[in-house]
Each structure stands twice: as C-alpha cells, then as structure tokens.
C-alpha cells in the first residue's frame, strides 16, 4: 500500500490510540474496551515503549496499532490490531516486521506474545515471522458463591502487597506471563490487596487481587515450593477470597497450563474461559 505509513505510537495521543484499539478489537473473540486513562495505565503497567511501538496510518488516519513492551533484553508484543475495513492488506505483517527490526536494533534477545488458540490466522502470521509456540496460558473464571460469610481460613490474614512481593521469585518455579510478572504487579501495588497464609509468623503462601465492580481480578497466587501441600494452601486462599467477596465473581488471566497450583483453581470452582498460546522468538531477531 503506497499510502501506508508507520509512525511511533508516541506521536498519537492516548485518547486516539485507545479508540484505534477498541475499534480494531470490536469484533474480536473477547470484548476489549479501554478508555484513554485505562489504556495509558495499562501501557505503564506492562512497560510499553511508546517510542518503539507503532501505529499504521493511511493518509494520516490511524488504521492499525502494535505495542512493544521492554524489560532489559526481553520484549513483549501486544495489542496488534487493524481496523476491520483495512484488514487483509498486509498492514499487520508490516507492523510486525517493523517491531522485529526495532527489537533487533534495541538489542532485545527474546520476544514473546500471546494469541488465542482459535485465532488461526494470527498464529499462522506469527509463525511466518519466526515465532514458535512455547506453552499454553489459561484464563479462568469463577462465579459468585453468594455465601454470606466473611470467615477466614485459619492462618490467613490481609496484608499489604509489599509484604509478600519479596517472596515472588522464590515462590514461583514456573515463569510468569508478562502481564503477571513481578514488574507489572509491583506497578499496581498501590491499587491491589493481599491475603497471606502464615505458619509461626512465616508467610508460606499469598494471593494478590483487585476488587472491581462485579469481580475480583486475581493477579498472583504463590506458595512456597518447599511446602508438600502447595495446592491445598492455594485452595485455602482462593476459598477465603470467595468468602470475603461472596457477591463477586473472580477472574485470572494467563495461568500457565503447567502451573502446579492450577488444580487449586479448579477445586475452588474456577473454569477455563480462554486458552492462549504463548509464542516466542529468540536471537537473532532478523526480519
């Protein structure tokens, strides 16, 4: 397309970028809608590099968007979307090639992204660009229990996120997804709540979450790997949360399919809502 121009995302205000994202995902498999404040906050939480993220324009009008997050030598691609009227014209491919070149120049040695398993067209494009499927990530939901009791499980207490995030690395033996990794959670620390399970004043498990209008968004569930009954402790935390907010459902994104705590979610009544492939591409990043 001769009219197609790729420009840095920082040249477009957040209010316009959020509009492009919302319209590009209006007919997606799941609902995506962010107001400008939510979009900007999301970009901060996941370390989006607005200088290196890209907007596709045709005659000056934005028609596509692709975000590139950076943490040291690693990157994460998200928000790849094209307005419906402009699809199947090579715009997504052009944006991805631009991000690969940008990542290479920035010295990134590993790129990751996530794609819904039913989005076969996007999967094929990412494979064409050199990405391979690494593992599956699950999004889980639980319905409200409607059980009006706030009784907590013995040994469980409310805590400030900073009290438990110091255990993050030690209590995770499976790599977290980009959105649920320590940098993202730390940036949200002032907006979230925590539960911790202690034995003899030693914290051995914790749950971080954010109550919203109709559900609790779970951000991190972790248990000391040395404990012989990790899933049982995780279950206790999940049940305590349900008892504390009986009128709210719960939702958690991107739980690795091999997470040892996954059985605790299912035992607590969570169901799989979505399955995504986490794909990656490593050095050399040559488009």
Helix (H, G, I), strand (E, B) or coil at 111: strand
Residue 152: pLDDT band with limits 50, 70, 90: low
- Quick check: 147 pLDDT over 90? no
pLDDT score at 217: 97
pLDDT score at 148: 59
Residue 227: pLDDT band with limits 50, 70, 90: very high
Residue 31: pLDDT band with limits 50, 70, 90: confident
Q: What are the structure tokens assigned to 115, written together?
A: 């794609």
Q: Can you spell out the DSSP letters for 242-261?
A: HHHSTT-EEEEEEEETT-TT
Residue 145: pLDDT band with limits 50, 70, 90: confident
Quote the CA–CA distance of 36 and 226 in Å, as a whole number: 43
Quote the CA–CA distance of 230 and 110 in Å, as a whole number: 31
Can you tell me which residue has the tokens 């609902």? 31
Q: Express each pLDDT in 61-93 by its tens digit.
A: 999 999 999 999 999 999 999 999 999 999 999
Quote the CA–CA distance of 247 and 177 in Å, as a whole number: 28
pLDDT score at 283: 75
pTM equals: 0.93
Quote the CA–CA distance of 252 and 273 in Å, as a whole number: 10
CB 65 within 8 A of CB 79: yes
Q: What are the structure tokens assigned to 215, written together?
A: 């559900």
Quote the CA–CA distance of 263 and 270 in Å, as a whole number: 10
Mean of pLDDT values over 158-184 = 97
Alpha helices in the chain (DSSP H): 14-24, 36-45, 91-105, 120-128, 161-165, 168-171, 182-187, 230-244, 262-267
pLDDT score at 1: 65
Domains of the chain, with CATH numbers? 4-108 (3.40.630.30), 140-276 (3.40.630.30)
Mean of pLDDT values over 124-148 = 93
Contacts of 77 (CB under 8 A, 6+ apart): 66, 67, 68, 69, 96, 99, 111, 112, 113
Mean pLDDT of the chain: 94
């Amino acid at each position: 397309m001769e009219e197609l121009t790729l420009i840095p995302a920082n040249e477009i205000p957040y209010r316009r970028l959020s509009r492009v994202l919302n319209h590009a995902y209006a007919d997606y498999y799941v609902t995506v809608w962010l107001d400008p404040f939510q979009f900007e906050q999301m970009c901060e939480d996941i370390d989006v590099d607005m200088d290196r993220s890209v907007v596709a324009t045709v005659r000056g009008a934005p028609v596509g968007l692709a975000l590139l997050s950076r943490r040291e030598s690693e990157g994460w691609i998200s928000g790849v979307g094209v307005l419906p009227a402009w699809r199947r014209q090579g715009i997504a491919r052009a944006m991805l090639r631009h991000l690969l070149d940008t990542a290479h120049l920035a010295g990134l040695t590993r790129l990751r992204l996530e794609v819904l398993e039913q989005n076969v067209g996007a999967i094929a494009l990412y494979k064409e660009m050199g990405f391979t499927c690494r593992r599956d990530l699950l999004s889980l939901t639980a319905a409200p229990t409607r059980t009006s009791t706030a009784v907590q499980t013995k040994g469980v207490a409310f805590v400030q996120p900073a009290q438990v995030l110091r255990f993050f690395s030690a209590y995770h033996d499976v790599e977290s997804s980009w959105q649920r990794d320590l940098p993202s959670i730390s940036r949200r620390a002032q907006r979230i709540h925590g539960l911790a399970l202690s034995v003899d004043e030693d914290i051995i498990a914790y749950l971080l979450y954010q109550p919203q209008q109709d559900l609790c968004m779970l951000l991190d569930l972790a248990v000391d790997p040395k404990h012989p009954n990790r899933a049982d402790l995780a279950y206790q935390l999940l049940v305590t949360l349900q008892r504390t907010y009986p009128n709210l459902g719960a939702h958690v994104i991107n739980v690795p399919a091999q997470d040892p705590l996954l059985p605790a979610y299912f035992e607590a009544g969570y169901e799989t809502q979505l399955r995504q492939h986490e794909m990656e591409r490593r050095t050399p990043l040559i488009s």
